[in-house]
Amino acid sequence: MADRISLQVLRYRPEQDGQPTMQEYEVPCLKEWVVLDGLNYIKDQLDGTLSFRWSCRMGICGSCGMTVNGEPKLTCATFLTDYAPGPIRVEPLRNFPIVRDLVVEMGDFMRKLVKVKPWVVRKEERPLSEGEFRQTPEQLDEYKQYSMCINCMLCYSACPVYGLDPLFVGPAALALAQRYNLDSRDEGSKERMDALSQHDGIWGCTFVGECTRACPKNVDPAGAIQRYKLSASLAWLKAFFMPWGARDGR
């Protein structure tokens, strides 16, 4: 096995470049090294001007998402040896504006995340004296899968609808809305549904399924959105045929 591998990294320096360019670096190809290790080697030893985001290096913070050989990946979970003999193309996450080199602008996602109200919504706050909320393992099971999201945005990078329509709320935000809708402690389904049962919410999704394929945490956002479509449709039918019941619904 070769002991070095070539990384072709996208460079974009707005103060001097009008367009992104590719720059090639050679890094050691150790058995246990991931692409992130390669990038850190570049920054430490070869070219300190390279900019990229990373943090936990163990697949839980969601910072190091990039496009590796055309696929959205967490660079801390993508081994160099899997791509030997290389070269490996490393580009920033697709569908987001590039700020510099491998760093993308995430403001759009952050604003959409707030829009789905990703917290437990209660009609009336429970007083402390009543103690904690209790949940059975079955109730936890209902939403646990969707709570695994690390906000890495690989799903936004994979989703062609988000690429074509920046107004689309997107897979992770909708999966997180479902995570709270299905939580037995939450009473905010109706509020979320009013905001999300719109053309740029769940109805923009055409079930491509690419988001689920890209997700490193098996959140299955596509499944979450389809289930949301079904519950939104049933709620719509209920409101249509029985409008008197829908005033205050959960």
Question: For binding to other proteins (CB under 8 A), which residues are involved?
Answer: 12, 14-15, 19-20, 70, 94-95, 97-100, 105, 107-108, 111, 138, 141, 160-161, 163-165, 194-195, 197-199, 203, 206-210, 212-213, 220, 222-223, 226-227, 229-230, 232-233, 235-237, 240
CA–CA dist 235, 229 (Å, integer): 10
Rounded to whole angstroms, the Cα distance separating 197 from 119 reads: 18
How many angstroms separate the CA atoms of 34 and 77, rounded? 6
Residue (27 or 192) nearer to other proteins, CB? 192
Look at residues 50, 86, 82 and name the one whose alpha carbon lies nearest to residue 41. 50
Q: Which amino acid type is present at position 134?
A: R
Cβ at position 128, least distance to other proteins in Å: 31
Instruction: For residue 157, give the 3-state DSSP assignment.
Output: helix
Q: Which CB atom, from 51 or from 81, has the smaller least distance to other proteins?
A: 51
Closest CB 84 distance from other proteins, rounded Å: 23
Residue among 84 and 110 whose Cβ is closer to other proteins: 110
Cα-Cα end-to-end distance for the chain: 59
Q: At what angle do helices 189-196 and 171-181 cross, to 10 degrees?
A: 160
* Choice between 153 and 222, CB closer to other proteins: 222
Minimum gap (Å) between residue 120 Cβ and other proteins? 21
From the CB of 7, what's the least distance to other proteins, in Å? 20
